[in-house]
Structure 1
Amino acid sequence: MSRRRRMVQSLIGVMLGLATGLFLLSSDSPCLRGEGFPRVAPEEGEEAPPRVSLDPSTLPNNSQKGLIFVGVMTAEKYLATRAVAVYDTWGKAVPGKIAFFSSEVSKQPKNCPDLPLVSLKTVDDSYPPQKKSFLMLKYMWDNFGDKFEWFFRADDDVYIRTERLEYFLRSLDSRKPYFLGQAGKGNQEEFGLLSLEYDENFCMGGPGMIMSRETLARIAPHIQTCLQNLFTTHEDVEVGRCVQRFAGIPCTWAYDMVNVFYHNYTEKTAFTGPLKSKSVHDAVTLHPIKQPQYMYRLHNYIQSLRVRDLLQQRVGLYRELVYMASLINKSVDMVLPSRSAFCDNCVADAPLLGVELSLNQYQPKTSEEVLAWDFISKSYYSDQNLNPRRRPEKAFYVGIEDAVREVMDLINVNADQKGREIDFKELLYGYYRVNPIHGSDYIFDLLLTYKKFRGHKMTVPVRKHVYLHQAFTAIEVRETFDMEDTSNIVPYTEVETEVITEELTGTGLRQPLESGFLKLGQTAQGTALQPPTSVDKRGVGDISDKLVNFILPLSGRHSTFLRFIENFETTCLKQKEKVTLTVVLFPNERENSYNETISVINRLQEKYVYTRISVLPVNETFARALALEYGAAHVTEPDDLLFFIDVDMIFNAKALLRIRLNTVRGKRVYFPIVFSQYDPRIVFNALESPEHFRITQDTGYWRQFGFGITSLYKTDLRRVGGFDTSIKGWGKEDVDLFDKFVAIAENVTIFRAADPGLVHVFHMVECDPNLTETQLEMCKNTRASTYGSQAHLGRIFCKDRERFLAFLKSKRKSVKR
């Protein structure tokens, strides 16, 4: 009986315990929110600070919107600048709620009237902001303690990567006491003066500090006590002391928090330079950003990283889609709609983006189609460049660094679980090639450092061979005119659009309109272009309205000049293009054509009276720098576009359009890469090329190192000081001008691109022996490169090899003698 009685009593006890537990869980007891849960409403007669609104649909636990409450401490003088910058960038992406805490007299700035501002009573903007910080924490708990899992105290000069913050916090249990941030004990001068024990620390305020709900619940009832017992003037030190005393926990000692909550100690120049760094990529918070414009700049960069990650996910999904379609023996168009809400052209993109990851995605059919690998070491070796061994360009360095960074991120995935970390030391060598359809391929031999921090600790150098493929994504086009986005231009009504189209097609832009070049900005109402009523307005009509001032230095070369004039007349004058021509004429000792040249110009001026065609006689020894400077001075309007050209050049209407498009006053100068013909006697066995605009590897080459043909505005030329007129004769003046724009012209972009509409007609280069040593060497190198392509010259050599070898032997014997 006694045994049965004990079993009955135990059963009754269990049932009573379950009933009591269920009752407590169903009640709204404040005990569940932490020990010593403080009041939510102010005491009777006490005026509470204005409450920031909260979406009533927000769930109290584990919700997308109720994860974290971010309180940003700011001051009245920073509300319209720093606070607005925070709210415009990362502030609106917080997985919870954000509010800005300032002094009692603060009001919403005019440039952002919806800024969630809390003006704390009895608080001013004095520094250090100890009272502001503690009362902000009290406000958070009194009003939102039961609505959020985490509470973030932030400065107005910190940037928070919200998606990383959410991922980080969801890996932790907010029911436990946590005090997260970068642990500190003071700088060298303050060490030992902050009243901290040897095992005590604080979370640095700059990069931010995070408290779990449990931690804030423990300190909230004692905030008044903490305010009355301050030992230092450092607000973050006192918050840490308060947490240590009443929550019983220090700031997280983990060394990784230095990288998670990142503080740049240069401060004034922090995050103003290049942003591609490990610290920026790995951090959750970045501090400090003192100037609002750099906050927007950093946000744009972080957003670009997010776009890159999404594009990578997209490529991965396409690969899975193509693979799964192959498993069920169906084509992609059978399993995917041609258009959907998330993809405009899914079927067309799938074969390109869904190709299986491999270094052999492209299969060449002939030896000429084989993609050559470039070799990377301390120098860069490539058979596609006129200089096969050279120092890599800066852009290439950046690309390699990005690829290596991606490799190291992949290698160190789950490094904590594996108990080891691998650091990059050096790129020993590598190979690189570009597949124009699918992307870039890399082969790297890396020197790494293997660090094992679990078990048998060790640090050893290792080498790793990696194979990478950097996939291209689908083509996206963004149309701009004069470097302004056409999407920002207000569309016109249907009637206005018809008038605009008629005017545009009558100004030499019919072909771009019909080919679709200008259709990218169209809307349902019409085209997003402004009417060409004024040169100052932005729109397509402005392009043909740009006056191009041709400046031509000339000395002799009369027959060549006649060819240039014929081309100029056909392309510009007969088409009534808005152009002028200034010929800077020098005498020539070998050719007495001075008067004939002036007569040609006079006849042309009489025939086309609506175009300014003039000649500037200069009775000095020819110097191209001096000629171009005289020509630029002859153009009276400082805002006119100047185009420096040589008499050997021919051009077409498309080149004229590109000159106007690619030259923007105060923003961009255009140094086109022109196509230079090889000797037609070698290529065609003729004195002249039968078709000047035939562009092939055997007919000519791109002058990558030629800077003589230039398009810029006169104001930009004067900004860098113009040409160096001390340079006499041929060459060097163009490189000098290019270097000036690189070194001096701030905010002016140098645009370089191959222009198939600009062709340098072949002529035998004559090098004056009186030139300086540098100029003479440049001249001889240019002459040597004009005979023919290496492949063509190689074929000629192979056809009559014995004859060439005999010639070389005879030359060698003559040299020995």
Structure 2
Amino acid sequence: MEKVTAKPVMRKRRGLASAILGLTVGLLLGFLILNHRISTPSVVNRLNFSIPISLEQRNDVFGDREERVNTSSSNLVFVGVMSAQKYLESRAKAVYETWGKEVPGKIAFFASEFSTVPENCPDLPLVPLPRVDDSYPPQKKSFLMLQYMWNNFGEKFEWFLRADDDVYVRTDRLEKLLRSVDSRRAMYIGQAGRGNSEEFGLLSLEYDENFCMGGPGVIISRETLRRIVPHIKNCLKNLYTTHEDVELGRCVKKYAGIPCTWSYEMQSILYHNSSGDQAFTGKLKRKEVHRAITLHPVKSPPHMYRVHNYMRGLKIQDLEHRRILLHRDIHSMSSSLGIEIDNIKNYTLAKGVALFPQKSNSVDYPGDTKVLGVPPGLRSFKPHSSDEVIPWDFLSRSAYSLGDSNPRRRIHSHVKEGLEDITREVMASINSCSRQRGRIVEERTALYGYRRVDFFGADTILDLLLVYRKYRGRKVTLPVRRHVYLHQHFTGLEIREVIDGTEVEPNETKSSSNSLQDIFPGFLSLSFTSKAIADPIQRKIIHFILPLSGRYEIFERFLKNYEEVCISSGERTKLLVVLFPHKREDSFNRTINLINRLKYRQPSAEINVIRNLGNFSRATALDMGVSTLENEDLMFFVDVDIVFTRSALIRIRLNTVLNLRIYFPIVFSQYDPKIVYGNEKEREKFIINDESGYWRQFGFGIATLYKVDYRRVGGFDLSIQGWGKEDVDFFEKSVKSDLEVFRAPDRNLIHVYHGVDCDSELSDVQFSMCKGTKADTYAGTEQLANLIYQNPEYLRFAKMRRFRNTKPGG
């Protein structure tokens, strides 16, 4: 009991004495700190809130995020970006909002003493350095930045990166590099230099000294920073040049005892482009960009965002490839375990643990293993008949294709770009272990190749001429040829809903399905519901503008098609007929009566007629129709020979965007049914194949656009009279304008065959175009060849005529 009663007494006395002692010590420390604050200038912390912080203090300037700083996933590297007040709202903001958000550690921006956080980026982590201005050269800024980094974060991060505000860093590759190097050693990593040709020998560097070029970035380990920070004042007092990176290298060599990494590989890893302000403003799909960790300089903030988006695209491609590999593993294992691949999406690994937690109608569903998991190979698609065999295109200096209207042609730009991508990736794969093997393989040229596209993806075979260089041991340089067999798998259908050029978030009712039928009602079929009227795409009114002169029977067919597709089904359309008299056909009044009868039968139909008693000119007719509309009206330039379905109207509304895009659909043009079928019963069928017609790739008369964009392009050339040429001229104006031009085949727009009568009064250019169109629409090449084979007298007649025309004096 004595011991029990003694303890409270002892505790009470000890507490009173401790309180008196703590109060005394606190007052003394407060007095000392107050005097210290008065005598020592402080730095204002501009990261998230404003409190004075001295360079000698070792507080975390990121406030309450100390716990996250010390976690293993985010304490790898501290990035210090040197900037200036005038660049904080532009370059620094671009860096912070792009790769700065993805640093495996922390990032801070260092500027002059009186710099402030820009209004357009209030959360920018800014550290104004005391007694530092933004003058050039920035030696003092650079050294005091390193001192700040060590004093405040020296024990929290393994690596420290000194960067400029015009460098782009691929943080994922930086992390991979740094985790492969021992951070406990003194390391000074960068692109080594000794000055350019004009400066060589003038930088006071010894024979074994160099420096890491500051532009592409300098990586310093914790041990190196520990060695040099106590001597920073001495380094600042003994500057030999105006180059900040040279002086940093001299300081590291003197006090850390190490030079910058002598590695040729650093020129490509930490890449500096010598093009100045034009660097990385052009094509980014280059091997220098793909293999680099840092890119310097990116002077313009918009180009910084552009580079970042491109790198994110490369990361998406990599993730898609990994997804394909996982599906292939699942496909292979299901085969080994005897599991039906059709049931794999519902397979459970254990009770309550599904292989695919997301259902197939979820936006997070990883894809169909039956399609994506097919093993790579050139025989993934197995044809069941000769008609299903997919021919190969032969590629050399030109492209040779059986499926093209021009069998021998230049290689299209998208194919050429794809071949460049393939070659670059193949060479990167070949050289992935080049350092260990002491050799490198360089590409010389692609001699020839084969290419095809099937249901699963694109298959490519290339014959490459390479140069093999061995630089370890006995040096060897040899030319070699290798065949590359590549299968590029399709990754599935990605759908984005866009209205007038702006992407919209899917509604909750639509998020449960990825089908085209749910997103675009009626896109794949002709069945529409009343809900389509609420769709902003369906609400767009299409103004048909039809130039017409004569051709009464053809116009009857057009009106019948228009009534069935547009009027009877309640489509939001209006028809404007610009009517001219015909030289030989007296149908002007009959045409007007035909329209009036339709309007009487269909009171809701909005059909108007503009009468012009002059000579027919398609350009003039369309321009007259345009003049009656409002600026934001959607126009459809159509010919009387066209038949269409409601699916064509859907595509017109989707592919034509106000102030952005003009749509020139590629229509299917019929051959002469007498040649194709011979049988009268088959002539009215609109069959689309190589025998029945061809895609009118060089016809630009059918177009959809808004009136304001018509004026923006410059409209038609009204001096063109008669048939043809006005559409080619307008298409060329559209291509040269600042608007997008979109072309795509539309199987729901068919140009019905009719005989072509070329007027001899046309200009030479128009007459030649008319004769060419007449020949094109007669029949296909194969049919014409068969016609000649079946009738040898045609060939004899042609030979005789040619002989007479070329005979001297004939």
The TM tier, using the shorter chain, reads 0.7 to 0.9
Once the two structures are superposed, residues 714-751 of structure 1 have per-residue CA deviations (whole angstroms, 9 ceiling, x without a partner) of 222222222233434322322222222222x22x2222
SS in 2 for 1:426: strand
1:411-490 to structure 2, matched below 5 A, reads: 411-436=430-455, 438-487=456-505
> How has the CA–CA distance of structure 1 residues 353 and 683 changed in structure 2, closer, same or farther, with 3 Å as cutoff?
same
- Which of 376, 401, 410 does residue 382 from structure 1 map onto? 401
Deviation at 1:219, TM superposition (A): 0.9
> How has the CA–CA distance of structure 1 residues 702 and 47 changed in structure 2, closer, same or farther, with 3 Å as cutoff?
same
Task: Determine the C-alpha separation between the residues in 1 that align with 2:569 and 2:337.
Answer: 60
- Which of 718, 726, 729 does residue 736 from structure 1 map onto? 729
The answer for the alignment partner of 1:593 in structure 2 is 587
The answer for the alignment partner of 1:229 in structure 2 is 238
Task: Determine the C-alpha separation between the residues in 1 that align with 2:720 and 2:680.
Answer: 33
Task: Determine the C-alpha separation between the residues in 1 that align with 2:682 and 2:278.
Answer: 57
Deviation at 1:472, TM superposition (A): 1.3
Given that 2:69 and 2:105 are in contact with CA atoms closer than 8 Å, whether structure 1 keeps it comes out as no
- Which of 102, 122, 133 does residue 111 from structure 2 map onto? 102
Given that 2:76 and 2:159 are in contact with CA atoms closer than 8 Å, whether structure 1 keeps it comes out as yes
Task: Determine the C-alpha separation between the residues in 1 that align with 2:279 and 2:429.
Answer: 28
Task: Determine the C-alpha separation between the residues in 2 that align with 1:516 and 1:761.
Answer: 25
1:109-508 to structure 2, matched below 5 A, reads: 109-332=118-341, 333=344, 334=347, 337=354, 339-340=356-357, 349-436=368-455, 438-487=456-505
Task: Determine the C-alpha separation between the residues in 1 that align with 2:282 and 2:717.
Answer: 32
> How has the CA–CA distance of structure 1 residues 687 and 645 changed in structure 2, closer, same or farther, with 3 Å as cutoff?
farther
Deviation at 1:350, TM superposition (A): 1.6
Once the two structures are superposed, residues 74-94 of structure 1 have per-residue CA deviations (whole angstroms, 9 ceiling, x without a partner) of 222332332222222211211
The answer for the alignment partner of 2:807 in structure 1 is none
Query: Normalising to structure 1: TM-score of the pair?
Result: 0.83
Relative to structure 2, which stretch is displaced further, 681-690 or 367-376?
681-690
Task: Determine the C-alpha separation between the residues in 2 that align with 1:325 and 1:470.
Answer: 22
Task: Determine the C-alpha separation between the residues in 2 that align with 1:518 and 1:456.
Answer: 76
> How has the CA–CA distance of structure 1 residues 122 and 582 changed in structure 2, closer, same or farther, with 3 Å as cutoff?
same
The answer for the alignment partner of 2:756 in structure 1 is 765
1:644-723 to structure 2, matched below 5 A, reads: 644-686=637-679, 691=684, 693-723=686-716
Given that 1:692 and 1:761 are in contact with CA atoms closer than 8 Å, whether structure 2 keeps it comes out as no
Code of the aligned partner of 1:759: I
Task: Determine the C-alpha separation between the residues in 1 that align with 2:194 and 2:470.
Answer: 28
The answer for the alignment partner of 2:546 in structure 1 is 552
SS in 2 for 1:78: helix
> How has the CA–CA distance of structure 1 residues 608 and 666 changed in structure 2, closer, same or farther, with 3 Å as cutoff?
same
Code of the aligned partner of 1:629: D
> How has the CA–CA distance of structure 1 residues 722 and 439 changed in structure 2, closer, same or farther, with 3 Å as cutoff?
same
SS in 2 for 1:422: strand
SS in 2 for 1:752: strand
Deviation at 1:442, TM superposition (A): 0.6
Deviation at 1:431, TM superposition (A): 0.4
Matched, 1:782 2:773: yes
Once the two structures are superposed, residues 428-451 of structure 1 have per-residue CA deviations (whole angstroms, 9 ceiling, x without a partner) of 111000012x11111101122222
SS in 2 for 1:298: helix
Task: Determine the C-alpha separation between the residues in 2 that align with 1:511 and 1:464.
Answer: 50
Task: Determine the C-alpha separation between the residues in 1 that align with 2:489 and 2:233.
Answer: 58
Code of the aligned partner of 2:195: G
SS in 1 for 2:461: strand
Given that 1:381 and 1:389 are in contact with CA atoms closer than 8 Å, whether structure 2 keeps it comes out as yes
Given that 1:512 and 1:518 are in contact with CA atoms closer than 8 Å, whether structure 2 keeps it comes out as no
> How has the CA–CA distance of structure 1 residues 772 and 399 changed in structure 2, closer, same or farther, with 3 Å as cutoff?
farther
Task: Determine the C-alpha separation between the residues in 2 that align with 1:393 and 1:732.
Answer: 26
Deviation at 1:68, TM superposition (A): 0.9
Task: Determine the C-alpha separation between the residues in 1 that align with 2:801 and 2:70.
Answer: 96
> How has the CA–CA distance of structure 1 residues 88 and 517 changed in structure 2, closer, same or farther, with 3 Å as cutoff?
farther
Deviation at 1:47, TM superposition (A): 5.2
Task: Determine the C-alpha separation between the residues in 2 that align with 1:237 and 1:42.
Answer: 40
> How has the CA–CA distance of structure 1 residues 323 and 609 changed in structure 2, closer, same or farther, with 3 Å as cutoff?
closer
Code of the aligned partner of 2:398: S
Unaligned runs of 5+ in 1: 1-40, 494-504, 520-526, 533-539
Task: Determine the C-alpha separation between the residues in 2 that align with 1:544 and 1:98.
Answer: 49
Given that 1:325 and 1:335 are in contact with CA atoms closer than 8 Å, whether structure 2 keeps it comes out as no
> How has the CA–CA distance of structure 1 residues 605 and 129 changed in structure 2, closer, same or farther, with 3 Å as cutoff?
farther
SS in 2 for 1:475: coil
Given that 1:206 and 1:263 are in contact with CA atoms closer than 8 Å, whether structure 2 keeps it comes out as yes
The answer for the alignment partner of 2:14 in structure 1 is none
> How has the CA–CA distance of structure 1 residues 740 and 451 changed in structure 2, closer, same or farther, with 3 Å as cutoff?
farther
Task: Determine the C-alpha separation between the residues in 2 that align with 1:492 and 1:388.
Answer: 48
The answer for the alignment partner of 1:21 in structure 2 is none
Given that 2:163 and 2:214 are in contact with CA atoms closer than 8 Å, whether structure 1 keeps it comes out as yes
Deviation at 1:192, TM superposition (A): 3.8
Given that 1:692 and 1:759 are in contact with CA atoms closer than 8 Å, whether structure 2 keeps it comes out as no
SS in 2 for 1:671: strand
Once the two structures are superposed, residues 346-369 of structure 1 have per-residue CA deviations (whole angstroms, 9 ceiling, x without a partner) of 797222222222111111111111
Given that 1:52 and 1:116 are in contact with CA atoms closer than 8 Å, whether structure 2 keeps it comes out as no
> How has the CA–CA distance of structure 1 residues 811 and 157 changed in structure 2, closer, same or farther, with 3 Å as cutoff?
closer
Code of the aligned partner of 1:708: G
Unaligned runs of 5+ in 2: 1-32, 46-59, 511-517, 805-810
1:497-646 to structure 2, matched below 5 A, reads: 511=522, 541-601=535-595, 613-635=607-629, 637-646=630-639
> How has the CA–CA distance of structure 1 residues 421 and 434 changed in structure 2, closer, same or farther, with 3 Å as cutoff?
same
Task: Determine the C-alpha separation between the residues in 2 that align with 1:764 and 1:409.
Answer: 57
Given that 2:499 and 2:536 are in contact with CA atoms closer than 8 Å, whether structure 1 keeps it comes out as no
Task: Determine the C-alpha separation between the residues in 2 that align with 1:284 and 1:302.
Answer: 11
SS in 2 for 1:80: helix
> How has the CA–CA distance of structure 1 residues 630 and 760 changed in structure 2, closer, same or farther, with 3 Å as cutoff?
same
Given that 2:348 and 2:355 are in contact with CA atoms closer than 8 Å, whether structure 1 keeps it comes out as no
Relative to structure 2, which stretch is displaced further, 189-198 or 143-152?
189-198
Task: Determine the C-alpha separation between the residues in 2 that align with 1:154 and 1:444.
Answer: 42
SS in 2 for 1:542: coil
Given that 1:548 and 1:578 are in contact with CA atoms closer than 8 Å, whether structure 2 keeps it comes out as yes
Code of the aligned partner of 1:414: C
Matched, 1:755 2:773: no
The answer for the alignment partner of 2:73 in structure 1 is 64
SS in 1 for 2:204: coil
SS in 1 for 2:583: coil
> How has the CA–CA distance of structure 1 residues 243 and 341 changed in structure 2, closer, same or farther, with 3 Å as cutoff?
farther
